[in-house]
Structure 1
Amino acid sequence: MVVISAVAALEAAALLVAAGWYALQLLTGAPVLSFWGAVFTLGLLLAFSAWLFAVGHFLFRGYRWPRAGALVAQLFALTIGFPTLMGGYPLAGLAMLVPAAVAIVLLFDKRVIAYASRVGGSPPAL
């Protein structure tokens, strides 16, 4: 579980760095086709980063629901990693493919499934 949580947290941190770089490019006047489209893309990077941080955190705490979110994030990483690898950027492609493959395999390990069986507690009484 620690490995999967770390992979999700590192991917979230990478997205946060990418969002920071993207925002810096927008502020320095890099040419874009649509300013509001670029702002929307920046918002998506920030939202996906926050979502991955939450997935990593709640996976580590043993909740059940983040397993699906972690799987979807790793499938997205595979979807981006293969074209990156084949497009002439082997290190960047491997940096996306290897952690995603490891996380996917570990998500279906019986120890991870047993650990991630916690559900939300009952609502607090007034």
Structure 2
Amino acid sequence: MAGAIGEATPEPPSSPARPAGAILIAAILLLEALGLFTAAGWYLYGLLTSTPTSLGGAVFTMVFLVVLAIWLLFVSYHLLRGYRWTRSAALVFQLFMIVIAVPTLSAGVVMVGVALLLPAAAVVLLLFTKPVLAHTTRTADNPKVL
């Protein structure tokens, strides 16, 4: 008899804990998004205080940085929720960061190059760990899909 006194009611299965790697990746993506917002603010300050060589180019760059930062926030949030597509989105952005970091290091701007390279390398490595791969298998909001 269900619901009798003293009988335990089954609890719904709890969602598995997020792996530390996924949390670290999301945190790095969040910090990168904040860096992009900062760069966009720097561009805005430059637009307001001086005359750029190309106004259209400066405005485009500022808007692009804001859109990219919002995209990274979106990816970070959905990576924590376990969506599969976030791995490729995070990987592509980190590869771009590596492409920017290597010439920056070659140009002698070591602190900026390292600041770009180390987080990107960490994310690339963490994306392919077994716990992160297992966590990012979700394809839709309906858990019955898989």
Same fold (TM over 0.5): yes
Q: Of 26, 38, 46, which residue of structure 2 is paired with 1:5?
A: 26
| Per-residue deviation, 1:34 | 1.7
Secondary structure at 1:114's aligned position in 2?
A: helix
List 4+ stretches of structure 1 deviating above 6 A.
none
The reply to whether residue 93 of structure 1 matches residue 113 of structure 2 is: yes
Q: Distance in 1 between matches of 2:141 and 2:28?
A: 26
Instruction: Show the 5 A alignment for 1:30-41.
Output: 31-41=51-61
The reply to whether residue 66 of structure 1 matches residue 66 of structure 2 is: no
- 1:13 partner letter: L
Q: Of 35, 59, 67, which residue of structure 2 is paired with 1:47?
A: 67
| Per-residue deviation, 1:104 | 0.2
The reply to whether residue 82 of structure 1 matches residue 102 of structure 2 is: yes
Q: Distance in 2 between matches of 1:68 and 1:61?
A: 15
Counterpart for residue 21 of structure 1: 42
Q: Distance in 1 between matches of 2:129 and 2:93?
A: 18
Unaligned segments of structure 1, at least 5 residues: none
Q: Which structure has the highest helix share of the two?
A: 1
Counterpart for residue 18 of structure 2: none
Unaligned segments of structure 2, at least 5 residues: 1-21
Q: Distance in 1 between matches of 2:37 and 2:23?
A: 21
Q: Tell me the matched-pair count.
A: 121
**Structure with bigger gyration radius:** 2
Aligned Cα RMSD in Å?
A: 1.0
Q: Distance in 1 between matches of 2:54 and 2:104?
A: 25
Q: Distance in 1 between matches of 2:127 and 2:141?
A: 23
- 1:100 partner letter: A
Secondary structure at 1:32's aligned position in 2?
A: coil
The share of aligned pairs that are identical, in percent, is 45
| Per-residue deviation, 1:62 | 1.0
Q: Of 121, 127, 134, which residue of structure 2 is paired with 1:107?
A: 127
